[in-house]
Amino acid sequence: MVNNNHLSDSPVRKMVYAALFASMTAVGAYISIPVGMVPVTLQTLFVILAGAVLGARWGMLSMFIYVLLGVVGLPVFSGGSSGLGVLVGPTGGYIIGFILAALVIGYLFENFQSKSIAGMVAIFLVGMLAIYIPGYLQLMYVASLGVQETFALGVAPFILGAVIKIAAATIIYRYLKTESLV
């Protein structure tokens, strides 16, 4: 491996990084690390990092590629599922939310140069909401559940994990910034 630090901004490099974050999101679904009592998968961590590192356009594209990988039949959706059926199924809204989250986070990071920790946490929090709101709505709609049942089934179990991932994403993004890797 050549350690090249040329950091060009060519579209080819952006493309390759977008492909990287698509596969990271795929691999992240399989990595579960216990933090305290909560098992945390790295999937949504890489989603929100994709938005922060790549920006709005390429972050969105990388999540689009991730969705296409699942459509093609790689077992990349959570639990090792794949296919078009998952996208319109009860958990499909979260996967659509990945695209939205990367777009929103990328947009916010591009337009508000937030160096402070609080600013980063706020942006990642908005991104997490962009994952769970479409997920919540699709689960409620396609499974025709009530407001409270959907919350109990589709949002409440993931809140603690989301908080941990926002904290981790902030630490990692700050590290990448100070090492000027992004």
Partner 1 sequence: MPDYFLSFVPGDSFLHKLDPRTKLIATMLISILIFRLHITGLVLLFALFMALYYLSSVRIALLRNLRPVAPFLILIFIFQLFLVPGNSFMDLYGFSATSAGFFEGLRIVGRFVLLIQFASLLTATTSPAHMTAGIERLLRPLPGKVLGVTSFEIATMMSLSIHLVPVLNRFLKEVYQAQLCRGLGRQKKLSGLVSLAIPLLRGAFRMMDDIAMGMESRCYQGNYRTSLFELKMNKNDWLVLMLVFVLLLGFWNLNITLLPSYQI
**Residues from 53 through 92 that contact partner 1 (CB under 8 A):** 57, 61-62, 64-66, 68-69, 71-86, 88-91
Stretch touching partner 1 by CB under 8 A, among 15-23, 93-101, 103-111, 127-135: 15-23
Contact 52, 109 (CB under 8 A): yes
If one counts every other C-beta atom within 10 angstroms of the C-beta of residue 33, the result is: 12
Phi, psi of 81 (to 5 degrees): -95, 165
Q: Check residue 17 for interaction with partner 1 (CB under 8 A).
A: yes
Residue 77: DSSP 8-state: B
Q: Check residue 100 for interaction with partner 1 (CB under 8 A).
A: no
Q: Check residue 175 for interaction with partner 1 (CB under 8 A).
A: yes
Stretch touching partner 1 by CB under 8 A, among 98-106, 116-124, 129-137, 172-180: 172-180
Give the SS3 label for residue 6: coil
Q: Return d(Cα 75, Cα 107) in angstroms, integer.
A: 29
User: How many residues are given for the chain?
Assistant: 182
In the complex, the smallest distance separating the C-beta of residue 96 from partner 1, rounded to whole angstroms, is 15
* One of 33, 117, 156, 159 touching partner 1 (CB under 8 A): 33
* One of 99, 153, 162, 180 touching partner 1 (CB under 8 A): 153
> Based on CB atoms, which residue is closest to partner 1, 24 or 101?
24
Euclidean distance between the first and the last CA atom of the chain, given in angstroms as a whole number: 19
Residues 112-151 that bind partner 1 (CB under 8 A): 142-146, 149
Q: What does DSSP say about strands 38-41 and 32-35: parallel, antiparallel, or unpaired? A: antiparallel
Place of tokens 């706020």: 122
Q: Check residue 155 for interaction with partner 1 (CB under 8 A).
A: no
> Based on CB atoms, which residue is closest to partner 1, 81 or 114?
81
